[in-house]
Structure 1
């Protein structure tokens, strides 16, 4: 997912790399100090965790480019534990998914078609983490230069408005992303990701 190596932690939460690379210090401007990356069995890690997380990134492909079924099946131990560890009012999960569509976008297209597999994974995460009638939403955005799709499931997104639709969601996300960029002094813009291949799940 492109995180700095210096943010990698061991199971005991010690830094795996003692000093960040110069490029990470320049690109991440100190944000890397607030990111905790764990390379571990995802199910085992989340089941044994007692923390409540504001944001969780899942990048769970194995060496054979397979996203394990146990990490997305709606009745899995992993998704149930993930739901319990995610902040109930504003928790967000971002999942890296590889595009699985049979059609390849042209160089002019910015939207990767959502195949059956990505659709099933997205629906499972949304149903378990937000619920069918819960306060929250799920959407995907395309990352076409690596043929990936990022799934974002966030709690606490009020859908009671009669004006709730794709444009309402995008406008809200754009507004909040600009605020986030300013508050966190992000070294990159979130806007390009939101504008590219946005699909509500």
Structure 2
């Protein structure tokens, strides 16, 4: 379970202080799927970034099974991101110097040495990689660079990279924003199916009613607060 209490993130805009996120309380049980909704500027991406340890909150607490996330030092945060988090960024964050296959394998590499230890060469890894490639319909893209792909193809590669290391917490920032309905359903089918089978928690920041409909729980953020 992840428990949030009094979580806040603020930014300076000149002399003015902007409240990017204010979330008094939330609980996310293991294995549940959540749609994080609200208008632009309500803190959806900020919440995901705080949960991933990408940014630090200015106040409050995030408690996980691994400890108090908001108290972690940088090494502990790196381990948390590497092992527990599968993050699908809104802008994908694919590395153009790498091929599609290498970008996906990077997800396993970042999981504290699975790649280095030869995990990427095991039969289990290869079967998982092939399953993701086929499910995302990107088998024919393996040797291409991200810059040669459409935004929809890049999105599907980003999803495969996030899931390859089998994370316990999947954070997806507008994961269907670049996709048509068919591919949106494909992505959400994969994300929700993975989380159910692996007892992983899913948080999806979204404006899309179709994406929201895949999640059995909803948390609504408002500018400067939580509804």
State TM-score, norm by structure 2: 0.29
Report which structure shows greater RCO (CA 8 Å, sep ≥6). Answer: 2
| Structure with the higher fraction of residues in strand conformation | 2
